[in-house]
Structure 1
């Protein structure tokens, strides 16, 4: 099984949105038994809290489930458990590498580096623009799912 972890600062806006969108894409392709998705925060500010009301509203608007989602903090064990650890912005990636003691590991990367944008996902907690975040998350999740499927095919041919 391939395991994906999305990480942002508080685990209430961007990373849970990416988690929910990726789960939805994975389910639509019937890959739930092959791909597990989760999210976490680099900070401890929102542990145990549900996603931000703006994230919940946007996902409800587009019919994507968020049932049972609660904020949690990134842990050292996550490096061993997850195959892809995806930071929503450059600062998150730097914090992930520092927290996990992995200064340069390819399983840790910035979310939009798999797209043509190659930029940070703006934090809607500060911008208030949950639509922009959703659009970027959709694009990034589609690109990541393509990468995962390509990686799975490569492994199956070895």
Structure 2
């Protein structure tokens, strides 16, 4: 089993979007037996909350479910549970490394470093642009899935 964790600041916009998109890609390819997906936050602000209404609305446009997704905070034991720990931006990658006590471990990566985009996934909580976030998340999830399937 390959375990993937997406991480952002609050776990209500970007990382749950990535979790839902990746889960959808995995299910459509019949790989749920092989790949498990989760998401978490570096902050504790939204623990127990569902995804942001903008995330839910954008994903509904593509018939992607957010069922069962609830915000949780990153835990130190997540390092041992997950094969890929994907930070949605540089700030979150730094926080993940600090929180997990892993300053340089290769399993912790910035999401769009898996793609041709040389940037962070912008936080739609602040930008309001859930379409841009969705497009970047889809690119990143497709790239990550290809990496997993090659290994």
Do both proteins adopt the same fold according to a TM-score greater than 0.5, normalized to the shorter chain? yes
Deviation readout 1:112-145 (Å, 9 max, x if unpaired): 0011112100000000000000000000000000
Q: Distance in 2 between matches of 1:145 and 1:58?
A: 21
Q: Deviations over 1:24-48 (max 9, x none)?
A: 0000110000000000000000000
SS at match of 1:26: helix
Residue aligning to 1:127: 127
C-alpha distance in 1 between matches for 2:33 and 2:63: 22
Partner of 2:68: 68
Aligned residues: 151
Give SS of 1:131's match. Answer: helix
SS in 2 for 1:39: strand
Q: Which residue matches 2:97?
A: 97
Question: Deviations 1:58-92 (Å, cap 9, x if unpaired)?
Answer: 01111001111100000001000000000000000
TM-score, reference length from structure 2: 0.99
Q: Secondary structure at the match of 2:55?
A: helix
2:108 aligns with: 108
Aligned-residue CA RMSD (Å): 0.4
Q: TM-score, normalised by structure 1?
A: 0.95
In 1, the alpha carbon distance for the partners of 2:121 and 2:145 equals 17
Q: Could you tell me which residue of structure 1 aligns to residue 31 of structure 2?
A: 31
Can you give the 5+ residue segments of structure 1 that lack an aligned partner in the other structure?
152-158
